[in-house]
């Protein structure tokens, strides 16, 4: 098990994995727009190629309406 941070909360996952697999593993809002890994935006087409490692910080960004 490794620990990463997802949207500011510590999360334990079974090991290093792709962003794509991570999104299937952790609770992610269904209307997410983008993923940041260590403050870098990960293009959607790279989700399967980019790996999340121990200590990484992941932000799943969603659209929030306001007025």
Say which CATH number the domain at 47 has.
3.10.20.30
Task: Give the residue numbers spanning the domain of 36.
Answer: 2-62
Q: Which residue has the higher pLDDT, 27 or 53?
A: 53
Average pLDDT over residues 35-53: 95
The pTM (predicted TM-score) of the whole model is 0.84
44 inside domain:
yes
- Say whether pLDDT at 15 is over 80: yes
31 inside domain:
yes
List all residues 6 or more positions away from 52 whose beta carbon is below 8 Å from its beta carbon: 4, 13, 16, 17, 18, 19, 22, 37, 58
CA distance 22 to 18: 6
- Say whether pLDDT at 65 is over 80: no
67 inside domain:
no
Mean pLDDT, the chain, whole residue set? 90
Structural domain total, the chain: 1
- Say whether pLDDT at 22 is over 90: yes
């Amino acid at each position: 098990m490794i620990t990463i941070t997802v949207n500011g909360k510590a999360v334990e996952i079974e090991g290093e994995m792709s962003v794509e697999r991570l999104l299937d593993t952790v609770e992610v809002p269904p209307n997410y727009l983008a993923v940041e890994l260590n403050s870098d935006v990960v293009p959607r087409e790279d989700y399967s190629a980019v790996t999340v490692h121990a200590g990484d910080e992941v932000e799943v960004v969603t659209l929030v309406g306001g007025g």
